[in-house]
Chain A
Amino acid sequence: MEFDWSVIADAMPALLGGARLTILITLAGLAGGLLVGFVAGLMRAYGNRLLNAIAFLYIELIRGTPIVVQVMFIYFALPVLADVRVNPMTAAITAIVVNAGAYIAEIVRGSFLSVHKGLKEAGLALGLPMWKVLVYIIGPVAFRRMIPPLGNQFIVSLKDTSLFIVIGVGELTRQGQEIMAANFRAVEIWTAVAILYLIMTGTLTLILRVTEKRMRIL
C-alpha cells in the first residue's frame, strides 16, 4: 500500500478540531479533578472517621469501576435517575473530574503522609494551628513530591478522553473514527491521530519536567 499524505492534509482540520476538544476536556476535567482530589485526599489523611469513610467510599467506587461505565452512567443513567439532562461535553468533563479526582486523592494522601512527622511537630510546637501547619509547612513539601505521580495521572486522563467516543463527543479519536469511516484510510488516519496524542502528552511531560526542575524535591 502507499502512504497517501494528502489524506492527512485533508483530515487535519477536523483532527485538530478534535484535538482542541480533547485538550479542553482534559484541562477542565483535571482542574476539577485536582480540586476534588485535594479535598478527598486531605479528608483521607487528616479527616475524622466520617470524612475519612466518605472519601474512602468515593475512591473505592471510582477505582473499582471502568471509566467507560462511569461516563455511560453519567450520560445515560443519571438523566433517568435524577431527571437532569446532561450534554455529552458536560458528561465527559464530569467523568474526568470524578475519575481523576479519585486517583489524585490517593496521590495527595500519600504525599502528605510521606512528609517526616518531625516537621508537623516543629510547626505545632511553634504554636500554629494544624491547618497552618498543613498550608505553610507540610503542603509545600508534599506538593513537590506529588509532581511525578500527578504527571502520570494527567497523561492517563488525557488519553482516557478517547473513551468518550462512546457518548459521541467529537474529540480526537472520534474525529479519526468518523474520517476513517468515510475514506477507509486506516493507516494514514490512525498514524496522524497517534502522533497528535504524542504531541499533547509530550508537551505535558515537558511542562512537568520544567516544573520539577524549578522546584527541588525535598
Chain B
Amino acid sequence: MSIVEFRQVTKTFGPVVVLREVDLAIDPGEVVVLIGPSGSGKSTLLRCINALEEINGGDLIVDGISVRGSRSQVRQIRQEAGMVFQQFNLFPQMTALENVAFGPRRVRGLSRAEATEQARELLAKVGLADRGHHYPSELSGGQQQRVAIARALAVKPKLMLFDEPTSALDPELRHEVLRVMQALAEDGMTMIVVTHEMAFARQVGTRLIFMEDGKISVDGNPAQLLANTDNPRLKDFLQHVH
C-alpha cells in the first residue's frame, strides 16, 4: 500500500494554478527526488503532503489519512511526516539538544529525561554529539541543518520530506548534510526530496520525478534518466543544473 497518494490534486494561489490534477503514489522505502525549474510546483507538492499548504481539489492520502481531514487528523499526518526546511528553522531560544528533544516532549509526551536521552542519541547519529549545548546561532549552516534533521527524526516519523535542504548552504557544507541523508536512506527511511543535487539523485534516489508547470512530466529511475533521457525539456534542465 502506498504511504503517500495524490489523487487529482489541484492547488492554486489566487489566480495562479500551482498543481494541476497531480496523480502520484509513493510506496514505503522509496527515495523520491523531485526536480524541476523554479515555479514548477515541486516545493508546493511537498508542502501539501504535511498540509502546510491546503489543497483545493482532489484528495491526498498520507499513511491512510486524508489531508482534508479534521485538525487532529492533520496533526497525526504531520507526526508521521517529518519535514526539513531550506532555512533550517531551528528554534533560536533553544539549544541543539532542546530543539531535538522538543518534539518528543511536546508532541509525544515523553518526560524531559527520556526526551533528552533520545535527543543525545540522535545528535550523535548526525555527528553532532559535542554540539548539544550550542544555540543555533553558534552553529554553522550545515550543523544547523543536521540538527533540524535530528529534530524531525525525533518524533519518529514514517517518512521524511526535504525541501531544498542544501540550497542555503555553502558548497563545502553540503556534503555533511547529504551524507546524513544518505545514511537515512540506507536505513530504509521513505524520503521525498526536493533538490538540485543530481549526484544525490543518482546515488541515493530510487525514483526521479521531473515537474513542469504544475504537472509531473517525467517519472522514472534516476540513473537511467540522468544518463539518457528522451524528454527534451528534462535534457535542457539537466544541462543547466550540472
Contact = CB atoms under 8 A, between A and B. Distances in A.
B92 A136 contact: no
B91 A125 contact: no
B91 A137 contact: yes
A126 interface: yes
A128 B85 contact: no
Contact of B79 (A119, A126, A141): A126
A127 B103 CA distance: 8
A122 interface: yes
Interface in A187-218: 218
A218 B85 contact: no
B50 interface: yes
B75 A127 contact: yes
Contact of A127 (B87, B137, B148, B155): B155
Given A127-B76, A127-B79, A132 B106 contact: yes
A140 B107 CA distance: 18
B12 to A, nearest CB: 20
Interface in B88-108: 89-93, 102-103, 106-107
A172 B84 CA distance: 57
B11 interface: no
Nearest to A126: B103
Interface in B145-159: 148, 151-152, 155
Nearest to B81: A125
Interface string A104-129: 00000000000010110111111111
Interface residues of B, number: 26
B192 interface: no
B242 interface: no
B240 interface: no
A126 B87 contact: no
A48 to B, nearest CB: 14
Contacts of B78: 124-127
**Max chain A Cβ within 10 angstroms of own Cβ: one of B79, B83, B106:** B106
Contacts of B85: 118, 121-122
B82 A129 contact: no
A127 B107 contact: yes
A141 B85 CA distance: 19
Contacts of B89: 116, 118-119, 121-122
A118 B145 CA distance: 14
B170 to A, nearest CB: 20
A124 B47 CA distance: 12
B107 A125 contact: no
A218 B71 contact: no
B38 to A, nearest CB: 19
25 contacts: A118-B87, A118-B89, A119-B89, A119-B92, A121-B83, A122-B83, A122-B85, A122-B89, A122-B148, A123-B91, A125-B52, A125-B78, A126-B78, A126-B107, A127-B75, A127-B76, A127-B78, A127-B79, A128-B106, A129-B75, A137-B91, A141-B92, A141-B93, A218-B93, A218-B137
Interface of A: 116, 118-119, 121-129, 132, 136-137, 140-141, 144, 218
Interface of B: 50, 52, 71, 75-76, 78-79, 81-83, 85, 87, 89-93, 102-103, 106-107, 137, 148, 151-152, 155
Given A122-B148, A125-B52, A125-B83, 14 more contacts: A118-B85, A118-B87, A122-B91, A124-B52, A125-B50, A125-B82, A126-B102, A127-B76, A127-B103, A127-B107, A128-B75, A136-B106, A140-B93, A218-B92
A-B interface, 9 closest residue pairs, ranked by CB to CB distance from nearest: A127-B79, A122-B89, A118-B89, A125-B83, A127-B78, A218-B92, A126-B103, A127-B75, A140-B93
